Structure 1
């Protein structure tokens, strides 16, 4: 259904933040949003896209909180979410558009040896009892199979991780 993706992303960012703060009063992070004002409404399954965004944001908060707990001097946990409407490469007649949503954190990054495994079902980097290993796998399926898009990850050890959701505007 036609959905304001910026409002959806902003809502889930705040929901995740306040949810984590309710569990852990000491948690704090800078939240940065940079939404494309020309996004307009896009046809998505809002509940599914919300679930993906919530999962990626929750993982980002987990990453920055983990790094914050290692007492690095001057470290300021930061999670940024951006959206933009872009031309879809290879689009018919050059008129096709896509949506990009990026969720970035300045946590510790994902170790190189496990990056390829993160979208596999039941794979988790979290301690026992803290993760099911279904979040990224489910998110990957929702984006690739449900919305005909891509879920990409870039990560740098000690610097952070960015997940990029890209899907065509239908």
Structure 2
């Protein structure tokens, strides 16, 4: 069952990476020469760069995808909150792999949201972010806490 869930996450995460690339390539020619490269907590740009920086998020997302993919293929190299034994090894690896695939999904959604806002703001300075960036932080924090609690239960 877990292999089906992991495969679904891998496909979903790959689709998010591909969508981010396609979205960026399709809109690139319409972008002005200067685009926002950083936003403050209120969503106002406080740094600008050349339009080639539009590819920063797609490149970063592809790197994260590859990195997380290889890390989850070799869970024995991970850092675990509890000692790994013969008894708990399978469950601890399962928890870690699920957490990493879920965190990658959240991070890719966050990158997509940032990219969308950057592009829309570049084309219209009255645009607002669809989802506030700070909304992702509680989801990431709760996910990590749930994984640690699960690892503790199955130690």
TM-score by length of 1: 0.35
Structure richer in strand, relative to its length: 1
Over alpha carbons, which structure has the higher Rg?
Answer: 2
TM-score by length of 2: 0.37
Q: Relative contact order: is structure 1 or structure 2 higher (C-alpha 8 Å, sep ≥ 6)? A: 2
Structure richer in helix, relative to its length: 2
